[in-house]
Structure 1
């Protein structure tokens, strides 16, 4: 089953091994579940970082995280994520201080959407494209946040704190294996994401042709419930991101995949921030 996060659909999450792993082509017989596995493109016989190891009882164990240069590591993921999120934050601060009009923010958001989709459907990561997306996304977030903060003072800071809390909470629960990214979990997230996006699209269409309130998903009690559902869905995206990173490090993914990991984490965090921002605005307007 592939990930609901568009960044990882080509690396995907498959259920071949009973859990969410990387998707690859036909299996190559090697005698172990780790080399030539159809669930991981880095666990191939020709990959020097994915050779099996013999355990104490003579059985095979998964390969340890690679230490050679040129492969994905936690440090490389952290550094790329810091660059990407840093670009978002700096651009957002510039837009906030510059007091840009909402129309300009909408234009920045459209450009960020195009760049994000472009990267999502590329076969390889493009650092320039990812950083460009981060800049335009930051300009959009800064403009929208400033506008909302005018009518709901403190909403932006509340959204930042909420996003940080969700990230820390999901990371803790993932590390403690309280959250387990299985094939069933991935199918649930995919279905929930599809339903959420479709319902949002219907709400937008009704709002455009109706009285502007749509189905009532952007305000009131229903809006609060919808916002909470969006935050929970974003937390699930983070769990999928953590699984992708864990597998990439364990199986010696190319170092360039660190940019994709950073891109995926940025998408998930932006999603969560926007849902918290909307929730804060709704709650202050009640």
Structure 2
């Protein structure tokens, strides 16, 4: 399987000729094994009779991703409303949601628990808590875009997502190892700049703005556009990884890992778009 720029996808166990062990799924249950052993074909149609998890399908990916995003959206709406009623909740919600969500992603990634629905849905809930709070802060305190700006960010995020899905399906941009390496390198570069900007800001450089990557100026706009582009191209690699998992016969529970990976990218894209819009609504 080609390596993904998304750490959730990159940590999935792989093996030649099929999928290795993903959570409770059995090893090597895929189309290649069925073709190699014609006697296994009847059991492939009824995997429950063999005690082997059935292969993952695109429908599984769509369903699990939909459920994950539904939980995230519901919690985000509640979080936004509560913060709008009590500004004192903004910081606690942002910290608990952001740090808690990050902790669960790390546990899922390095503990190879991406197929655990409890972890994935808990991440969605925590990230919803974070997004609701941060959305209110950016749309009403940092800028004056309000709910309308949030709606624009949501529509733009979904537009980019489905647009890149069309790009992937039509093959307009081919996902190659070189392409993947470029995106990964770009993401590491962005992360390094963010950390440097944070450290310089803490030391008072640029009046606390550091390199000016988030101050709303020209450089900040360019930086946000670069981040949006990287997030968008990351979808292509994520789609390709999910497609290869389906072809390799990954067990059905692996769809939760795909849902987690796509949600991580969607959250990043939404935040960057919302931040970019705020630069034009802060006068």
Normalised by the size of structure 1, how large is the TM-score? 0.81
1:11 alignment partner, SS class: coil
Number of the residue aligned with 1:6:
7
Question: 1:67 and 1:74, CA in 2 relative to 1: closer, same or farther beyond 3 A?
Answer: farther
Number of the residue aligned with 1:31:
none
- Equivalent of 2:246 in 246, 249, 259: 249
Number of the residue aligned with 2:183:
189
Number of the residue aligned with 2:32:
50
Number of the residue aligned with 2:72:
88
Runs (5+) with no aligned partner, structure 2 = 21-26, 37-43, 48-53
Number of the residue aligned with 2:62:
78
2:130 alignment partner, SS class: helix
Number of the residue aligned with 2:262:
265
Q: Which moved more, 1:69-78 or 1:261-270?
A: 69-78
Please say if 1:121 is aligned against 2:110. yes
Question: 1:119 and 1:285, CA in 2 relative to 1: closer, same or farther beyond 3 A?
Answer: same
1:178 alignment partner, SS class: coil
- Greater relative CO, 1 or 2 (CA 8 Å, sep 6+): 2
Q: Check whether the contact 2:29–2:250 (CA below 8 A) recurs between aligned residues.
A: no
Q: Check whether the contact 1:230–1:275 (CA below 8 A) recurs between aligned residues.
A: yes
Number of the residue aligned with 1:213:
209
Number of the residue aligned with 2:149:
155
Q: CA deviation at 1:4?
A: 2.0
Structure 1 segments (4+ residues) deviating >4 Å: 66-69
Q: CA deviation at 1:285?
A: 2.4
Q: Check whether the contact 1:92–1:140 (CA below 8 A) recurs between aligned residues.
A: yes
Q: CA deviation at 1:53?
A: 5.8
How far apart are the structure 2 equivalents of 1:156 and 1:173?
A: 25
Q: Check whether the contact 2:5–2:180 (CA below 8 A) recurs between aligned residues.
A: yes
Number of the residue aligned with 1:63:
none
Number of the residue aligned with 1:280:
277
Question: 1:145 and 1:48, CA in 2 relative to 1: closer, same or farther beyond 3 A?
Answer: closer
Q: Deviations over 1:49-107 (max 9, x none)?
A: 224869xxxxxxxxxxx876521101111110011101110000000111253211322
RMSD of aligned C-alpha atoms?
2.2
Normalised by the size of structure 2, how large is the TM-score? 0.82
Runs (5+) with no aligned partner, structure 1 = 13-22, 25-35, 55-65
Question: 1:135 and 1:46, CA in 2 relative to 1: closer, same or farther beyond 3 A?
Answer: closer
Q: CA deviation at 1:256?
A: 1.2
Q: Check whether the contact 1:152–1:280 (CA below 8 A) recurs between aligned residues.
A: no
Q: CA deviation at 1:9?
A: 1.6
Number of the residue aligned with 2:23:
none
Q: CA deviation at 1:41?
A: 3.3
Q: CA deviation at 1:216?
A: 0.4
Number of the residue aligned with 1:236:
233
Q: CA deviation at 1:117?
A: 1.4
Number of the residue aligned with 1:201:
195
Question: 1:250 and 1:46, CA in 2 relative to 1: closer, same or farther beyond 3 A?
Answer: closer
Number of the residue aligned with 2:123:
133
Q: Check whether the contact 1:148–1:155 (CA below 8 A) recurs between aligned residues.
A: no
Aligned residues: 251
Question: 1:129 and 1:46, CA in 2 relative to 1: closer, same or farther beyond 3 A?
Answer: closer
